[in-house]
Amino acid sequence: MPVADDIKSSWADEVELEGGALPPSTEVRENGFKIVTDYKYNEDEKKLKIVRTYKIEKRTVSKSIALRKTWKKFGESATDKPGPNPATTIASEDVYMQYVTSKEEDNKPEDESSIDKLKSLGDKSVVRCRTCGQEHWTTKCPWKDTVLIGGKLPDDKKGPAVTTGFTNAETGKPGGSKYVPPNMRDGAAKRTDSTNMARRDDTTAIRVSNLSESTTENDLEDLVKPFGPIQKLYLAKDKTTGACKGFAYIHFKFRNDAAKAIQALNGHGYDHLILNVDWSKPPTHSNQ
């Protein structure tokens, strides 16, 4: 094909060839700034244009320093151009000095004196420890980390696990008792109560899975509202994209409603997917 021979290269190739030679680097100095433009190839054979802007500052210095500024570079820097070489000199991110103050230590004596002031007012009930009932802050109670002394706490608040745990509680001595794990201590009784409450809450919760990505909280609300009043609704979403992760938890007010919802929605076709609905299972890592 003689015609094909005449065309040496297509226009697309020509562009490639043009790109082969890099434009020379330029240096422009204008009103106190030096702008250096460089061209180079990166690893992907793509042409890069690098523009560096330097601020030129004039400083008055002593003669010896000015003289040293004119010294020629040597050693490994012998081939460097004037000005900092970006390979060796890097401007890093801003850092700040974190000031450390000893304010917390200063506050301590003040704290003491404020208690004294309150005490001098005559009102003995102002400062009262919640643990032992004596006159100090609860956080300063000498028995705060140990077993509570002599039945100040109402019996009904004591959990069953607590009373079986130790006999020293009645002796009134903080020392001498063996180690008691935090969750077995008296103060923890309330906490276990609250976690029990949370678990009781879970009994009205259902888990909906196999939701489509485009599901929003409003869609979900519309879906479950007909079954009864809702306490809480949680839709798992991707942190970055905000898209639904495919499952949700719904806390109903009443267990009956939740049961109804499970019955109706399990296997229900929703947005091209078939929903999977069941009771929400308690987290597996809890030990009770």
Footprint of other proteins (CB under 8 A): 59, 61-62, 64-65, 68-69, 71-78, 80, 83-85, 87-102
> Do residues 47 and 39 make contact, with C-beta atoms less than 8 angstroms apart?
yes
Residue with smaller CB distance to other proteins, 98 or 164: 98
Gap between the Cα atoms of 200 and 192, Å rounded:
12
Decide whether 8 or 59 has the Cβ nearer to other proteins. Answer: 59
The nearer residue to other proteins, 99 or 179, going by C-beta atoms, is 99
Q: Give the shortest CB-222-to-other proteins separation in angstroms.
A: 46
Smallest gap from Cβ 99 to other proteins, in A, equals: 5
Q: How far apart are CB 70 and other proteins at their closest, in Å?
A: 10
Tell me the closest approach of the beta carbon of residue 65 to other proteins, in angstroms.
Answer: 4
Q: Reduced to 3 states, what is the DSSP secondary structure of residue 54? A: strand
C-alpha distances out from residue 64 to 60, 67, 70, 71, Å = 12, 5, 10, 11
- CB nearer to other proteins: pick between 79 and 288: 79
DSSP codes, 222-248: HHHGGGS-EEEEEEEE-TTT--EEEEE
At closest approach, how far in Å is the CB of 107 from other proteins?
A: 13
Residue 30 vs 93, nearer CB to other proteins = 93
CA pair distance 261, 270, nearest whole angstrom:
14
Two structure tokens written together for 209:
């899975």
Contact between residue 213 and residue 271 where contact means Cβ atoms under 8 Å apart: no
